[in-house]
Structure 1
Amino acid sequence: MSLSAAEAIAQAGSAVEYLRNAPARPTVFPVTPEFTNWRSEQRAWRESVALLDQSHHMTDLFISGPDALRLLSDVGVNSFAEFPAGSAKQFIAVNHDGHLIGDAILFHLDEGRYDLVGWHMVIDWLQFHGERGDYDVTFERDGSSLVRAGDPALYRYEIQGPRALALMEKVTGAPVPHTKFFGMADFEIAGVRVRSLRHGMAGQPGFELFGPWADGERVRQAIVEAGDEFGLVLVGSRAYSSANLESAWVPSPLPAVFTGEGSAEYLAWLPAARIGSLAGSFTSADIEDYYLTPYDLGYGRSVAFDHDFIGRAALEAIAASPRRKKVTLVWDADDVAAAQRTLLEEGVPAKYIEFPKARYGQYQVDRVLVDGKDAGISHDCGYIVNEQVFASLASIDVAFAEPGISVVVVWGEEPNSRKPAVERHRQVQIRATVHPAPYSRFARENYRAN
């Protein structure tokens, strides 16, 4: 019988002890790592058009029933005053103390039927409250291909880049109707109905296409054939995993589920396999020191105090004076090179810096210093080919969040944890400079602005 999260944490002694030494290997997207090479594949979504397969690594939670919308409204910080069928939004949830659980994309597919798609953290939280609360709802859960037996329920493809619109018009044989950011539209491709979400995952023009799995290969072949004249590039999991650095989305903040109201019952419900792992130089025995708020990650504009939801009162107090701001940190090239050079020198090297994405736990939390004092935390980090920089997304104290400020990122663990992805290494300090998030001007002006 599999352990619950509560049992696994009790055996380890604390949530921090379990997470820092979690036996799970790093998450691997179960699709082809590279079709050509990740550098050329990253360039495609900036220079031509890229096709990314999102069918296998995310969880879908289909929600239906008379109380589906009430459940979503009770758990989510978003406004649901206007959310008609055929629309989507970034769904965000917090705990009773206003600390972030996570986010995912919520599709209102048809009247009274919804699909919450993304990492499992916020999906687990919603499903728990739906099952334990007084809600007349039905859940159909389709896990990722890492845990599911059989094929996915839906295929999900991303077409991304400056030639995405031209490719869509060719493959559909008709002008693409104007669709606002995060709006949905239906198309016909290869004789089948295809649903779409208008957005740009890496800050470039894009369409997320989805439909029944049985139609997936037919649709994919039509896209590939039509894409030849536009320089279509197939993108594998290595490049795909780094796309969030350009759009400034932090994919896996540590969920605030380990303390507070209802946490004991939730952890008893949650399987230990879905706890996750904690990596990075920031260390504290108090798990709450790792918690974030929506404002730390730039989600403040999605918070709507037009309805009651879990954590509303606490979040109203936090909203009055946000402590941190999301920024991009561009790491000093000489310091990154020096850290990598230690692999070729005698002695204990620095923690290996993987390219293009250097995260080595599900929740990456590295210290950020100003004048030797803690000034925030660094999250996902990796190499952006299109900018030729190594960068991380960070939540920085507002006093130090202005572009141009110099900070230091502490890289590596002390002491080294027992996670499988952690080799014997020493900590190093890497200088970095604060920049806006997203770092790309195009993404800031044409993606986030919408």
Structure 2
Amino acid sequence: MSSSESLATALARAGSPVELLRNLAFPPSTFPVQPEFTNWRTESRSWLETCALLDQSHHMTDLFVEGPDALQLFSDLGVNSFAAFGPGKAKQFVAVAPDGHLIGDAILFHLEEGSFDLVGHPMVIDWVTFHLERGDHDATAVRDDNSIVRRSGPPRLYRYELQGPTAAAIVEQATGAPAPDVKFFNMTGFTIAGKEVRGLRHGMAGQPGFELFGPWEDGEAVLAALLEAGADHGLVRVGAKAYSTTNLGSGWVPAPLPAIFGDDPLLAEYREWLPLSKVGSLGGSLDSADIADYQLTPHDIGYGKTIKFDHDFVGREALERTAQTTPSRTKVTLVWDADDVTTAVGSSYRPGPGAKYIEMPKARYATHHEDQVLKDGEQVGVSLDCGYLANERQMVSLATVDTALAQPGTEVTVIWGERPVSAKPAVEEHEQVRIRAVVAPCPYDARDTYRAR
């Protein structure tokens, strides 16, 4: 298998998208930063009690797009409205395929007039790059891959996240000025350690804070100033393990399978363009030969409110056809039964093969993870991302389930493990197990507890 082989060529060889993706020997996504500074359980407390500092400089891809038609490029591809999207703002950019199924999402920063930074996992960034290269938009792009993929040198930008009750106090001490009153997903400017810093008003795991970023060469000085200011306010450096669970509390599904396998000629062209090396693996108990069964709509994972029909974009007609209907599925949190999880983990200490290994704190073992969710023996949804929330002491997953079953307290069952066992290196010989779960709100409200009876 060549790293330059196109997805189209690999599909022809494998015979089907499911067969190809379930057996890809690519490792699951990782966070290329220090795993722990103390331990991930203690670090997880910081964004609730004081303030967490998370280094986001290395694990996402940046696509810097500039030019007179840069905004038009994003408008042509995004389901979002761009009518009031001026410099100093950011938004969750969502793109779909011609049939209305999800390609992916990322955060789009409008830096200056005609200047943007699209930050996220590669799926939607590849989609935007493809359209820029094949179209006639008067714009240019520079890609800065994450630190696992980047061939040389550091990132172009440092990016530090401050989240928690004392985040504003730390910003005030580091800047020597009152924390500005900035609306959510709007940007402002700071001066820290004599360096000009951009700050995005942001929230993570339900907590207030800022995302601070600037030129890489300024990063060490800014970090030192934040750590010094944070010493008086309980600042805790958080490593990759704890950080990997924050999306579970905030309800963000990080890597839905992009809907790039349809019959539309645009998608056929895209598969010829896209290298196989940029395609992620597929894992979980969902076992269908039809790749369409793994695809999601924006409504499935809570992006319906993002869709605005005030502009033309790829997939608009398909989404318009469903705009007046009640979504068939709704995004929820599933709280896994503690006894069933304990039994599955305990099988590692008995004669095998036992249950598929459940890694802590993040249990996802493929790029795109999809487990069956059952009710009375019938599939009623898909569990998409799973892990352990140390503050709640619960194993949970983000899922999309039939809307009629989305009421908190509804009991369902998650099937954990693959059958047949795939050839992915992260998958050992194992047996499937059933884990009871209870539907809870998404984002998850940690003040309430939902447990299987």
Instruction: State the TM-score, normalizing by the size of structure 1.
Output: 0.97
Q: How does 1:80-95 map to 2 (within 5 A)?
A: 80-95=82-97
> CA contact under 8 A between 1:98 and 1:318: conserved in structure 2?
no
What's the CA shift for 1:14? 1.5
Which amino acid counterpart does residue 424 of structure 2 have in structure 1?
A: K
* Contact 2:200–2:210 (CA under 8 A) maintained in structure 1: yes
Q: Deviations over 1:350-382 (max 9, x none)?
A: 001111100000000000000000000001101
- Over residues 61-94 of structure 1, what are the superposed CA-to-partner deviations in whole Å (9 max), with x where a residue is unaligned? 0111111111110100000011110110000000
Aligned length: 443
DSSP-derived class of the 1:140 partner: strand
In structure 2, the residue matched to 1:56 is 58
Partner residue in 1 for 2:324: 320
Candidates 187, 191, 201, aligned match of 1:188: 191
- Matched with 1:23 is 25
Structure 1 runs not aligned, ≥5 long: 444-450
The residue identity in structure 1 corresponding to 2:175 is: T
Alignment of 1:403-442 (within 5 A): 403-440=408-445
Matched with 2:216 is 213
Amino acid at match of 2:439: V
What does residue 389 of structure 1 align with? 394
- Code of the aligned partner of 2:444: Y
Deviations 1:277-316 (A, max 9, x none): 0010001111111110111111111110111110011112
Question: Secondary structure of the residue that 1:200 maps to in structure 2?
Answer: strand
Aligned runs of 1:208-247 on 2, under 5 Å?
208-247=211-250
Distance 1:265 1:187 in 2: 44
Distance 1:392 1:158 in 2: 24
Q: Secondary structure at the match of 2:196?
A: strand
Q: How many Å separate the matches in 2 of 1:38 and 1:435? A: 24
1:200 aligned to 2:198? no
In structure 2, the residue matched to 1:446 is none
In the alignment, what sits opposite 2:160?
Answer: 157
Amino acid at match of 2:224: Q
C-alpha RMSD over aligned residues: 1.1
Question: Which residue among 87, 105, 108 is the counterpart of 1:106?
Answer: 108
Tell me the secondary structure at the aligned position of residue 210 of structure 1: strand
Partner AA of 2:238 in structure 1: V
SS in structure 2 of the partner of residue 92 of structure 1: strand
Correspondence 1:35-74 to 2 at 5 A? 35-74=37-76
Say whether residues 1:147 and 2:149 are aligned partners: yes
Aligned to 2:315: 311
Q: Which has the larger displacement, 7-16 or 92-101?
A: 7-16
- 2:407 aligns with 402
> Per-residue deviation at 1:253?
0.4
Distance 2:84 2:256 in 1: 28
Q: Which residue of structure 2 aligns with residue 264 of structure 1?
A: 268
8 Å contact kept, 1:97–1:260: no
**1:447 maps to what in 2?**
none
State how far apart, in whole Å, the 1-side matches of 2:76 and 2:24 are.
32
Matches within 5 A, 1:160-179: 160-179=163-182
Give distance in 2, aligned partners of 1:273 and 1:163. Answer: 42
User: For the Cα contact (< 8 Å) 1:94–1:310, is it kept in 2?
Assistant: yes
Distance in 1 separating the partners of 2:157 and 2:322: 38
User: Is the CA contact 2:383–2:400 (under 8 Å) kept in the aligned structure 1?
Assistant: yes
Supply the AA of the counterpart residue of 1:328.
Answer: T
SS in structure 1 of the partner of residue 203 of structure 2: coil
**Distance apart, 1:27 and its partner CA:** 1.6
Tell me the CA shift for residue 442 of structure 1: 7.3
CA contact (8 A) 2:392 2:446 kept: no
Q: Determine which of 263, 272, 278 is the counterpart of 1:274.
A: 278
What amino acid sits opposite 1:246 in the alignment?
A: G
| Residue in 2 that maps onto 1:118 | 120
Residue in 2 aligned with 1:377?
382
Equivalence for 2:451: none
Q: Does structure 1 conserve the Cα–Cα contact (< 8 Å) formed by 2:408 and 2:439? A: yes
Letter in 1 for 2:154: D
Aligned 8 A contact 1:96 1:260 in 2: no
SS at match of 2:159: strand
Which residue among 284, 290, 297 is the counterpart of 2:288?
A: 284
Find the aligned partners of 2:192 and 2:352 in 1 and give their Cα distance: 58
Unaligned runs of 5+ in 2: 449-453
1:242-270 deviations in Å (ceiling 9; x for gaps): 11001010000000011132111101111
Deviations 1:325-358 (A, max 9, x none): 0000000000000101111112321001111100
1:336 aligns with 2:341: yes
Shift of 1:271: 1.3
Quick one: which amino acid aligns to residue 99 of structure 2?
Answer: D
Query: Any conservation in 1 of the 2:111–2:117 contact (CA below 8 Å)?
Result: yes
Give the residue type in structure 2 aligned to 1:296. D
For 1:224 and 1:12, how far apart are their aligned partners in 2?
A: 51
Rounded Cα–Cα distance in structure 2 between residues aligned with 1:411 and 1:290 = 16
Task: Give the SS at the match of 1:404.
Answer: coil
Give 1:448's aligned residue.
Answer: none
| Offset, 1:441 | 5.1
Determine which of 351, 355, 361 is the counterpart of 2:366.
Answer: 361
